[in-house]
Chain A
Amino acid sequence: MADATRPLLSVRDLKMHFPITAGLLRRRVGAVKAVDGVSFDILPGETLGLVGESGCGKSTTGRAVLRLHDITSGSIRLDGTEIGRMSQSALRPLRPRMQMVFQDPQASLDPRMTVEAIIREPLDEHTRLSARHKRDKVLELMDAVGLNRRFAGRFPHAFSGGQRQRIGIARALALNPRLVVCDEPIAALDVSIQAQVVNLLEDLQERFGLTYLFISHDLSMVRHIATKVAVMYLGRIVELQAREGLYRDPLHPYTRALLSAVNEPDPVAARSRRRIVLRGDVPSPANPPKGCNFCTRCPDVMPVCREVDPATLEVGPGRWVACHLHDPAVMRGQTTRPFGTMGHRGPGPNPAPLDTPARSAT
């Protein structure tokens, strides 16, 4: 953490297209644009929350960042090293710096390996410790994530979901990584366990100085853990802001729709709040609409949205949004403001700011 201003992870214009083949000769007829031009930075010690509905490309982004997929184009810089085009064998020595916690703790642990063997695997791959040192390290890691040492010889099926996720976290931490990609680590757990796991992740971040890319669809959980939040829709980041700004004053219509769907624990506030209900389905990432990706469902859609793809602009310090509503060049040409868009810029106009503390986590 010597240089806190240089990003640990810097992603530029990341594209991950999966080819669609058809016919007898398996000719390429198109591509699923799972991730289509994503850029973000994560500073050391930060937690970037990546949110969005299912199928928007969050997990693919996380996996592409760790080069578990071969990316279509773009640049990924980890600690100043460009890893986007590296071969898998050249990447291997860098693997200890970046690790991943997976969504489904049942599926991400080999059913035929004991807990000790699972946590030891990264050590086997990247260190030359003696068997005794490895065992000591494994037991230390089990302590760190709150697993009983005596369970080291047991198999994953004997554990509960939360315990399994702890095994997965211990495995990710074995090599003292700097960046941990958490791919919906709590989605498969029930609510009482979710809070435990999120708190564990926070504790570990403090103890080991970790940097997280935290992928989730749970906005309230992201609010609890993230310092910056990026909202994805159909392979793009539509908005990227510090947590406070995003939850207080969401800029993109999609973000506002998402936030309005978060449950409000205060019944008085719940009655007065305004729900934005999106109509229709997410378009197919194989065939995204012309113009803005969100134009088919946007409540504030303008004619220009169906023609021109909005650029991602910095509308305030550290506040990035890809929407024509916030592009002065577009809005100046727009003589009549579309209905229903009254004032999302500037302070005040949002009548019911969704800022009541959503204390879902602890």
Chain B
Amino acid sequence: MTDAPAAGPSSATKMPMPGPDVRLAAAGASQWKDVWRQFRTHKGAVLGATFLVLVTLFCILGPWIWRVDPGDLDVRNKDLRPIYHALWDSGAKVAWAHPLGSDNLGRDLLASLIAGGRVSLAVGWTAMLLSMVIGTLVGVLAGYFWRLDGVLMRFTDLVLALPLLPLLLVMMLLFRDSLRAAFGPEMGIFLLIVTGIGITSWMNTARIVRGDVLALKEREFILAARSIGTPARRMIPRHILPNVMSSIMVSATLGLASAIITESALSFLGLGFPSDFPTWGKLLFDSTDRMADFPERVIWPGLAISLTVLSVNYIGDGLRDAFDPRIRGR
């Protein structure tokens, strides 16, 4: 061991540390610091996280900064173009009162985007979390407990074979009124949509997780834990879940995207939120008929959806790497 100088200036003042890897030994001291360090090395993930934070702040704080009600009908100023159109088209109808323009009823596009983002993000995250919880639960139980496997996986196949959109439509028709009465029009519909999307999109996660658990169960460290006497209720959180986390994370990022898009599809069919209640998907679909004349009405909500989904995908990718100690060491 002649590499004492390699210990660095910080330790030179303290007790001289023998041994080659002072840095690595200290690296294990705080796991979360390590995770954060690895996460920061993933450029896409950092960009994605920044974007997601900005979008979330935009939606949360937006109504306090841009104090225009998205439901206000400003008929005199309808069909305005975004303010930047004045740059190349001096004859365009623009107004500073509506920086992103307004729709055919004179509703402000910026305010709609803010309000729609709140709903879309809330629906996306909640529905994704719900479907992850159901999918992980079913997958882990089916993979770990041999007796439940057949029943749970046949049930998964059954749900997978159901035509989802008609099912959702039936659900909406059946429960809309009672939920509205119980929780109010907005909260009722929100719950209905979140549940509807959540319970119809967990099947792929369940299958992926089950496959992973089946493979994991044959690994020797599970046998080692059994030889210690770890019961199943502690085996699953301690050994199984951390090791299937990366697959769950990947399907979660995909799940968020599909939840936002399913919500848009439902709104488009008129069975989502009421018509005076903007969401990104609804803004998109409302504007499709006049897309050629007013492309900005499609581009802005579309960009919001796709960039959010993309950033979540990158974050998931970065987190997966950051949580894997084998990758983290490099």
- A-side interface residues toward B, CB under 8 Å? 63, 66, 68, 89, 91-92, 95-96, 99-100, 102-104, 107-114, 121-122, 125-126, 148, 150-155, 157-158, 168, 171
Contact = CB atoms under 8 A, between A and B. Distances in A.
Given A114-B31, A154-B27, A154-B28, A91 B19 contact: no
B24 interface: yes
A122 B29 CA distance: 22
A167 to B, nearest CB: 11
A150 B230 CA distance: 27
B224 A102 contact: yes
B227 A110 contact: no
Nearest to A112: B242
B224 A151 contact: no
* Chain B contact patch, size range: 20 to 34
Contacts of B329: 155, 157-158
B199 to A, nearest CB: 30
Contacts of A99: 227-228
A107 B227 contact: no
Contacts, number: 90
Contacts of A104: 220
A125 B229 contact: yes
Interface of B: 19, 24-25, 27-29, 31, 219-221, 223-231, 234, 238-239, 242-243, 323-326, 328-329
Contacts of A152: 28
Contacts of A125: 228-230, 234
Nearest to B226: A68
Contact of A121 (B228, B324, B325): B228
B7 to A, nearest CB: 13
Given A112-B323, A154-B24, 5 more contacts: A100-B224, A109-B224, A110-B239, A155-B329, A157-B326
Contacts of A96: 229
Contacts of B229: 91-92, 95-96, 122, 125-126
Nearest to A114: B28
A157 B325 contact: yes
B219 A153 contact: no
Residue among B25, B220, B225, B234 with most chain A CB within 10 A: B220
A110 B228 contact: no
A107 B221 contact: yes
